[in-house]
Structures are given as C-alpha cells and as structure tokens.
Amino acid sequence: MDEGKMDENEWGYHGEGNKSLVVAHAQTSEEIFQHLQNIVDFGKNVMKEFLGENYVHCGEVVQLPLDFVKQLCLKIQCERPESRCDKDLDTLSGYALCLPNLARLQTYHFAEHRPILCVEIKPKCGFIPFSSDVTHEMKHKVCRYCMHQHLKVATGKWKQISKYCPLDLYSGNKQRMYFALKSLLQEAQNNLKIFKNGELIYGCKDARSPVADWSELAHHLKPFFFPSNGLASGPHCTRAVIRELVRVITRVLLSGSDKGRAGTLRSGPGLRGPPVCEASPFSRSLRCQGKNTPERSGLPKGCLLYKTLQVQMLDLLDIEGLYPLYRRVERYLEEFPEERKTLQIDGPYDEAFYQRLLDLSTEDDGTVAFALTKVQQYRVAMTAKDCSIMIALSPCLQDASSDQRPIVPSSRSRFAFSVSVLDLDLKPYESIPHQYKLDGKIVNYYLKTVHAKDATVMSARFKESEDCTLVLHKV
Ligand SMILES: O=P(O)(O)O[C@@H]1[C@@H](OP(=O)(O)O)[C@H](OP(=O)(O)O)[C@H](O)[C@H](OP(=O)(O)O)[C@H]1OP(=O)(O)O
Ligand SMILES: Nc1ncnc2c1ncn2[C@@H]1O[C@H](COP(=O)(O)OP(=O)(O)OP(=O)(O)O)[C@@H](O)[C@H]1O
C-alpha cells in the first residue's frame, strides 16, 4: 500500500462483523483542500456568472488549528440534530470553508446592530420537464416536488403532504406566490426556516423537532412589522403579521436588477414546459371553479428566482435522457481512467468549464464530448434545484431615503434587505445513478398509489376546504 497512507491519524473505525473489523482511510489533507477549493471556484466561475455577483458569496478556504477544530466539534455536538449525527466532522485536515453569515444583511460591510430577520427558502425544482425522453406522461403534468411529497410521507420523512408547489412560487404571479409562501408556512419541512438575530424561530431544526407555531411566530414578528402600533394579540394579529411577512417576501423575491449571465441561457431552455402543476392545490382549485389555468405571468428577469430557474433548466434532457449519456461517459472512463482529469469530472471548475455549459444543443452526435457536456449541465442544474435562498431583512427608518441600499416597504414599516444563495457546491458525478433510480421510484410510487386513487388525493389535499375553493387575498 502507498507509504503516504501509513499515518494512523488518517484512518478511522468504519464498522465490524463477526470476523472482520473494518477501518477506512480518510481523504488526505490535500484532497480535502482541493475539494473545498473546487467549491469556491465553482461559486466564482460558474454560479456568480449565472446568478450574479450580488447573490453569490463563494467564501474562501481557511486553515484552522486542529485543537480549535476538535474543541469546536465537542462544543457543538449536543446541538446537532440526531438525524445528522451519523456524519462525522472533519477534524483531521485543518481545512474549512469560511463563508459570510448570510443570515445577516450582505449590503453592509460592518456589523449590523439592528435586529435582523432572515427567511431561508429552499424552493426546489420550478419547472416540469419538457424533454421528449420522458417516458411517464405523468412527469409532464405533475412536478417532481409534488410527486416526491407522497414518497416522503410514505417513508416517514415528513408527517403530511405540503400544499406548496414550486411552480406556484416561480410563477411570478403574486397570488400564486402568496399561496406558495403561505403553504410553506403551514408545512415548512426543510423548505422554510425563519431566524431572528441568527436564532431559529420557525421551521425544522430536525424532522422530529419542528418549531411551527403561528401565534408564537407572530409574537416574534410583530415588532418588525407593526413597530409603533398597539395591534392587539390574538388570531387577528397573527393573520395580519403573517400577511405582512408574506407580502414582503413576495416583493423581495420579485426584486432585483443584478446582472448575471443566466439571460444567455434563455435562447435555449427558455420558459418551456407547462406553466402549472396539476397537483398544485392552487391550479386544482381554479379548475374546480371552471377557471382557466393561470397565464405564466413570468418572473422579472433580474430576480434571483428567474435566474435560478434558468440554471435549473440546464437539465434539458431530464434524468431519463441523461442517464444513457452518463453511461457513455462511464464506458469511456472504464477504458481510459486517466482521462477523468482531462474531462474535468472533479474540477477544476474554471472559465473553460463554464464556457462549455453554454452549449445548449440537444442533437446527439454520438460523441463522448456531447455526453460530457450534458452530464456537466445536469450536475449544475441539480445544484440549482437544491440550493436555498436567504432573505435578510432589517427595519430601517422612514427617512432613510438617501441610503443606496435596497429597501422593501410593508404597510407600517420599511426594511433594508439582501438576498443570497446558499448551498452551491456542485452535485457529484457519482450521484447520477442514484438520481436515475430515485426518479423511477418517485414516479412509480405516485402512479401506483396516488394517481390511481385520485379521489383520495383530492380529499387529502382539500381536507379543510370541502367545496374545493381557496380564498385568495389581494396582494
Ligand atoms: O433528491 P432530493 O430532491 O430529495 O434532494 C435532496 C434533499 O432532499 P429534499 O428533497 O430537499 O428534502 C436533501 O435535503 P435533506 O438533507 O434531506 O435536508 C439534500 O439536500 C440532498 O442533497 P445532497 O445529496 O446532500 O447533496 C438532495 O439530493 P440531490 O439534490 O442530490 O438530489
Ligand atoms: N453562510 C451561511 N450563513 C448562514 N447560515 C448558513 C450558511 N451556510 C449554511 N447555513 C445554514 O446551515 C444549513 C445547512 O447548510 P447547507 O444547506 O449548505 O448544508 P448541506 O449539507 O449542503 O445541506 P443539504 O442537506 O441541503 O444538501 C442551511 O440550511 C442554513 O440554515
């Protein structure tokens, strides 16, 4: 075995059976450094280009004293959710990624002393696949998030089906967005968290310990939205505060003039696929009322949701069309393993890597080059489908108009705000077979259990609105 691997500190206990005790070699420090540097480079050279300078904070790789890392791990261990504790923290390499605290305003370069509210949304995939490689007709009608909900509830990941549908949030239609955000507030799962001064006040720290009481949330939010008003507490106050929150978040999500090159992708994927998901309670309700499906009013091109959606749409072929291309790359790598580096499977994620992502052709010329481009685009799209948006809000004075920072008004107050994207590390090449299997599982489960009993779905999703109508507030 390689002499360089003979350091006991780099080995750890893995498991054991009756006869064997298994130890595993950890990554070397250089490998970990390279992995972290790749995350930074991917943010800088790819995501900043697509999403825009102001939204992406790449951070930097830093070196930390090992003692400090070990003490820190011990200190925070008791606060980690049980479900994540099977993952060990790296206490050996001494490398870490240092990022700004995105729960704070990013428009200020000095510490903010005013109270800060931060809403984190993981919007997931905002379009229905338009690829002709899709074999199940249902995938052209119901979005992945809505189908996946049923499998997640069946496997016990979450207790109940959410009414949230990403297509509503990405619609650009204020009423649909309002409905989507309210649905997230009703069933946050891992798609919504709210922090006050960095502390989680709403959402799930862990699937088993959700913090989700609307009146408690309203109590926290009241001083932000009704600062000098003696609004009484109770259900009326709760509703008023939640309404203000949702309005402000909708406005912030529709704002933005930040430049980014996601626009260059428009000539390719564009706004394709059906504008609504048939499983969304919003569109179901409209259909029940005999109304047409809403027009896709479209997101403003400068806003982060629009840009994120464009990057998600780099998944041009859907996993069903992509998987055979992945197999082509795999066969090539089995024959020429040394080519993995040249193909930039594990980086570097540089300007050349970015440039190749802009090739949106879908005509397969049978080459490895074509297959590789689609594989890399798919990985980038998957990253955009799993990222989170952090919206930081800090109350500002009524006369702070000379201030150049973006401001969002609410009925009784005004907020300086910043919007950032989080969790932008490129999805691994190795996860593609998993994606392929999971996709089949999600669709088959949905077809077998849900679609077959469509009437049951209707009654489950509309249990509190028997007549199948939704009350839509003016926004
Ligand atoms: O496949 P999905 O859509 O369930 O997404 C996974 C997420 O589950 P979600 O559906 O958001 O509850 C999942 O979220 P949780 O860890 O369950 O909170 C991860 O983000 C996972 O990414 P990775 O494998 O850790 O890089 C995500 O996996 P991929 O983005 O790699 O598919
Ligand atoms: N720079 C940051 N500033 C503030 N909060 C952060 C920052 N980075 C991460 N977080 C918090 O930590 C959580 C986990 O981070 P992140 O999503 O990057 O981890 P992950 O392991 O990639 O998660 P996932 O399971 O979604 O793949 C986020 O949901 C967010 O609440």
The secondary structure of the chain, three-state, reads: CCHHHCCHHHEEEEEECCCCEEEEECCCHHHHHHHHHHHHHHHHHHHHHHHCCCCECCCEEEECCHHHHHHHHHHHHCCCCHHHCCCCCCCCCCEEEECCCCCCCCCCCCCCCCCCEEEEECCCCCCCCCCCCCCCHHHHCCCHHHHHHHHHHHCCCCCCCCCCCHHHHCCCCHHHHHHHHHHHHHCCCCCEEEEECCEEEEEECCCCCEECCHHHHHHHHHHHHCCCCCCCCCHHHHHHHHHHHHHHHHHHHHCCCCCCHHHHHCCCCCCCCCCCCCCCHHHHHHHHCCCCCCCCCCCCCCCHHHHHHHHHCCCCCHHHHHHHHHHHHHHHHHHCHHHHCCCCECECCCHHHHHHHCCCCCCCCCCHHHHHHHHHHHHHHHHHHCCEEEEEEEEECCCHHHCCCCEEECCCCEEEEEEEEECCCCCCHHHHHHHHHHHHHHHHHHHHHHHHHHHHHHHHHCCCCCCCCCCCCCC
Tokens of 258: 């930040």
Is the Cβ atom of 431 under 6 angstroms away from ligand 1?
Answer: yes
Cα 89 to ligand 2 centre (Å): 15
Is the Cβ atom of 377 under 6 angstroms away from ligand 2?
Answer: no
- The confidence score (pLDDT) of residue 237 equals 85
Please tell me the number of the ligand nearest to residue 189's CA: 1
Q: Measured between alpha carbons, how far is 164 from 192 in angstroms, rounded to an integer?
A: 11
The residue whose C-alpha atom lies closest to atom 6 belonging to ligand 1 is 386
Is the Cβ atom of 190 under 6 angstroms away from ligand 1?
Answer: yes
Q: What is the pLDDT of residues 31-44, one digit of tens each?
A: 999 999 999 999 99
Residues of the chain with pLDDT under 70: 2, 4-5, 107-112, 207-211, 229-232, 257-271, 290, 292-297, 398-403, 454-475
Cα 383 to ligand 1 centre (Å): 10
Q: Report angle CA 188, 56, 181 to the nearest 5 degrees.
A: 25
Q: Measured between alpha carbons, how far is 107 from 113 in angstroms, rounded to an integer?
A: 14
4 to 7, 11, 22, 27: CA distances (angstroms) = 7, 12, 20, 12
Is the Cβ atom of 383 under 6 angstroms away from ligand 2?
Answer: no
Is the Cβ atom of 431 under 6 angstroms away from ligand 2?
Answer: no
Answer whether 229's CB lies under 8 Å from 412's CB: yes
Cα 414 to ligand 2 centre (Å): 28
Answer whether 258's CB lies under 8 Å from 52's CB: yes
Answer whether 247's CB lies under 8 Å from 236's CB: no
Q: Report angle CA 327, 130, 264 to the nearest 5 degrees.
A: 90
Answer whether 266's CB lies under 8 Å from 313's CB: no
Please tell me the number of the ligand nearest to residue 103's CA: 2
Please tell me the number of the ligand nearest to residue 158's CA: 1
The residue whose C-alpha atom lies closest to atom 17 belonging to ligand 2 is 423
Strand partners, 3: none
Cα 432 to ligand 1 centre (Å): 13
Q: Cβ–Cβ contacts within 10 Å for residue 187, how many?
A: 18
| Residue 302: partners with Cβ closer than 8 Å, 6 or more residues away | 255, 256, 257, 258, 259
Q: Which of 83, 386, 430 to mutate to test the pocket of ligand 1 (most atoms within 8 A of CB)?
A: 386
Cα 120 to ligand 2 centre (Å): 10
Please tell me the number of the ligand nearest to residue 386's CA: 1
- The confidence score (pLDDT) of residue 13 equals 77
| Residue 311: partners with Cβ closer than 8 Å, 6 or more residues away | 47, 50, 51, 262, 265, 380, 381, 383, 384
Is the Cβ atom of 99 under 6 angstroms away from ligand 2?
Answer: yes
Is the Cβ atom of 205 under 6 angstroms away from ligand 1?
Answer: no
Task: Look up the ipTM and state it.
Answer: 0.96
Tokens of 394: 């800090």
Give residue 272's region: left, alpha or beta (phi > 0; psi -120 to 50): beta
Q: Measured between alpha carbons, how far is 344 from 352 in angstroms, rounded to an integer?
A: 10
Q: What backbone phi and psi angles, to 5 degrees, belong to 179? A: -65, -40
Q: Report angle CA 277, 280, 284 to the nearest 5 degrees.
A: 100
- The confidence score (pLDDT) of residue 15 equals 74
Is the Cβ atom of 386 under 6 angstroms away from ligand 1?
Answer: yes
The closest of 100, 90, 75 to 36, measured between CA atoms, is 90
Cα 387 to ligand 2 centre (Å): 9
Cα 274 to ligand 1 centre (Å): 24
Sign of CA dihedral 165, 167, 172, 175: negative
Q: Cβ–Cβ contacts within 10 Å for residue 128, how many?
A: 23
Is the Cβ atom of 389 under 6 angstroms away from ligand 2?
Answer: no
Give residue 203's region: left, alpha or beta (phi > 0; psi -120 to 50): left
Cα 422 to ligand 2 centre (Å): 7
Q: What is the pLDDT of residues 367-412, one digit of tens each?
A: 999 999 999 999 999 999 999 999 999 998 766 555 577 899 998 8
Q: Measured between alpha carbons, how far is 365 from 372 in angstroms, rounded to an integer?
A: 12
- What is the number of the ligand 2 atom nearest to the C-alpha of 103? 4
The closest of 169, 408, 438, 163 to 308, measured between CA atoms, is 169
Name the pTM for this structure: 0.89
Cα 387 to ligand 1 centre (Å): 9
Terminal C-alpha separation, the chain: 66
Give residue 12's region: left, alpha or beta (phi > 0; psi -120 to 50): beta
